[in-house]
Structure 1
């Protein structure tokens, strides 16, 4: 085995694979004789190979990697960079530019709180602080139990409903801090 491949596999071993996408969990279940690391390595090789040599392949490869795993950890970003013959910095730059991509597992309920001008003027800052303190959660983080993820975004495109948040893409508007917490609690209880 080459030193580069050994390093790549070691980096993959250091990732917390306890919370992966449903898609990857199903693949692991089907191929129970293989480790999650071997499966991720093989699947990523296939994704990279299909896109090799294409100048604009990075976005597609990142989308497919995140769809497969549920997030794109640094070790996977490095593997993608090596496979596409680009710098890890180029991959990190695209990862940080697009809010869609995440380096850490996202929660079962993905909360996006708007901090755009219309929502901010109507009190979104107080809602953000309430959610952060209630669930001990910072923007870009996921709770330890894997239930909630929080993102603070510039605009959700529903200014007339401001302040607004989405949970797994479903918009909830005309919020105040208490109403926002009540909505999150309903998701946690499975009522929504």
Structure 2
């Protein structure tokens, strides 16, 4: 499997780009998995459903399965930070690509998604780009390449052209092969 991360600050367009890439890859007959970083409290279950009741009763894992879908939910008693490698190990190894959204400080090859409005302060923190100091940033996808805070040494991709981003990924597929 080939693995690439998409890193950037909230609102930069990571989800929109990953969504477009998944659709384009599927059109080409590629099998794609996605890992998405979520905040502390999220739920994929609904209150009152049997699976929710089993989790609330104390089950460590609940696996839901039908002829169309499978979902595994695992409850940690203590906060547990899984590494990207831990998460990748949970996926079907037969997939062609894994697109990872978030984990901007993870040690994996990534494309930084940068929008012009990121130059502003957000929640009191400066949104400095990753690409000048993160060797794992292989390219920068942006809608404002003339407004980047620093000129990248990495290739600059047009955020509004997911087909071109896909072509870049395909051209660099060998360097994105995951080796655990």
TM-score (ref. length: structure 2) = 0.31
Larger helix share, 1 or 2: 1
Task: Give the number of the structure with larger relative contact order, counting CA–CA contacts within 8 Å between residues 6 or more apart.
Answer: 2
Larger strand share, 1 or 2: 2
